[in-house]
């Protein structure tokens, strides 16, 4: 508890992003990882394996960009640093361990930015329920011709999470307006990934699954606000909240989808069976 408070105070993070709750959110992930380390291990390893496999698809190896690098739990940083001239870790807030990584790997650089580009405006207008919510048009690195690899790593479902929570505690707005904003953050990120240069990988959780104490599925919840991924990929289950962690009755799993090279043509429409 005391260590977390010290880390909260020492971690570089703007006042606006602290107020929105990004730093607290990331420290929360760190605590949950410590408590659920065994349950999360396979998901984190499979994410790293997907990224390592994608590196083989990169004909050039100048810059690699990791969107949502966070605690680096699911990022094979040593492989990226050995493969690329420069590795750019992008997150709205970088934990102290990411700063340490830049000392260990001289070609690793941190960029602290909200990839949706809407969070600062959200913090500014949230108190006014009549002010329109911002719309995301991400551009970061789109014009950098030296970027040969990008991975969005367990970030997509998180993009609306903190903004929606912040809005729910702000002066009330119609729920449909918050949902529209959340959906637009997800859609604009998917569009952004297609506009980025180089090989692009997406790993994201797409559904939350409620499991009873006998291991049977009870319910499923969409966590992407009705948006379906336009690509098919490898899928696995992430034991996100093991039984007895939050509840004696239920565990919560996540269905994860990993698209190794989303420009390589495995769109859902392209792979859908056609009538003979
Ligand atoms: C579930 S974590 C991803 C896992 C992370 N790769 C790790 O190993 O810890 C989501 C990360 O996305 C970051 N994030 C959330 N919203 C963001 C945004 N709008 N822009 C940039 N990063 C964001 C969070 O700070 C967090 O580090």
Q: For residue 134, what are its two tokens?
A: 């911002």
CA of 56 to the centre of ligand 1 (A): 25
CA of 153 to the centre of ligand 1 (A): 8
- Per-residue pLDDT of 88-119, as tens digits, reads 999 999 999 999 999 999 999 999 999 999 99
Specify whether the CB–CB gap between 70 and 27 falls below 8 A: no
Query: Domain 2-202's class?
Result: alpha beta
Among 12, 92, 123, say which to mutate for ligand 1: greatest number of ligand atoms within 8 Å of CB: 92
Among 20, 28, 91, say which to mutate for ligand 1: greatest number of ligand atoms within 8 Å of CB: 91
**Which atom in ligand 1 lies closest to the alpha carbon of residue 119?**
19
- Torsion angle in degrees (nearest 10) through CA of 174, 178, 180, 183: -160
Alpha carbon nearest to ligand 1 atom 19, residue: 114
**Which atom in ligand 1 lies closest to the alpha carbon of residue 159?**
16
- Per-residue pLDDT of 51-69, as tens digits, reads 999 999 999 999 999 999 9
Ligand 1 pocket by C-beta < 6 Å: which residues?
22, 26, 29, 68-75, 91-93, 114-116, 119, 153-155, 158-159
Q: What pLDDT is attached to residue 265?
A: 65
Q: Please give the chain's pLDDT, 276 residues, in tens.
A: 788 888 999 999 999 999 999 999 999 999 999 999 999 999 999 999 999 999 999 999 999 999 999 999 999 999 999 999 999 999 999 999 999 999 999 999 999 999 999 999 999 999 999 999 999 999 999 999 999 999 999 999 999 999 999 999 998 899 999 999 999 999 999 999 999 999 999 999 999 999 999 999 999 999 999 999 999 999 999 999 999 888 889 999 999 999 999 999 667 754 433 332
């Amino acid at each position: 508890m005391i260590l977390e408070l010290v880390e909260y105070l020492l971690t570089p993070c703007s006042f606006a992003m602290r107020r929105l709750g990004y730093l607290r959110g990331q420290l929360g992930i760190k605590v949950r990882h410590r408590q659920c380390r065994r349950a999360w291990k396979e998901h984190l390893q499979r994410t790293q394996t997907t990224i390592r496999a994608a590196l083989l698809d990169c004909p050039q190896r100048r810059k690699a960009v990791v969107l949502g690098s966070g605690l680096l739990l699911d990022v094979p940083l040593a492989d990226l640093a050995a493969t690329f001239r420069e590795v750019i870790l992008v997150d709205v807030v970088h934990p102290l361990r990411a700063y340490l990584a830049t000392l260990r790997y001289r070609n690793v650089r941190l960029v602290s930015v909200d990839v949706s580009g809407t969070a600062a405006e959200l913090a500014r207008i949230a108190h006014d329920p009549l002010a329109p919510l911002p719309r995301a048009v991400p551009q970061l690195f789109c014009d950098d011709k030296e970027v040969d690899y990008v991975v969005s790593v367990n970030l997509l479902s998180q993009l609306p999470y903190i903004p929606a929570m912040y809005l729910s505690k702000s002066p009330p707005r119609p729920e449909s307006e918050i949902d529209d904003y959340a959906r637009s953050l997800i859609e604009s990120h998917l569009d952004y990934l297609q506009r980025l240069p180089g090989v692009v990988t997406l790993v994201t959780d797409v559904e939350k699954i409620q499991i009873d104490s006998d291991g049977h599925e009870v319910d499923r919840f969409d966590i992407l606000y009705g948006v379906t991924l336009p690509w098919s990929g490898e899928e696995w289950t992430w034991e996100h909240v093991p039984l007895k962690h939050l509840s004696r009755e239920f565990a919560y799993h996540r269905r994860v989808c990993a698209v190794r090279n989303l420009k390589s043509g495995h769109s859902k429409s392209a792979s859908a069976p056609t009538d003979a």
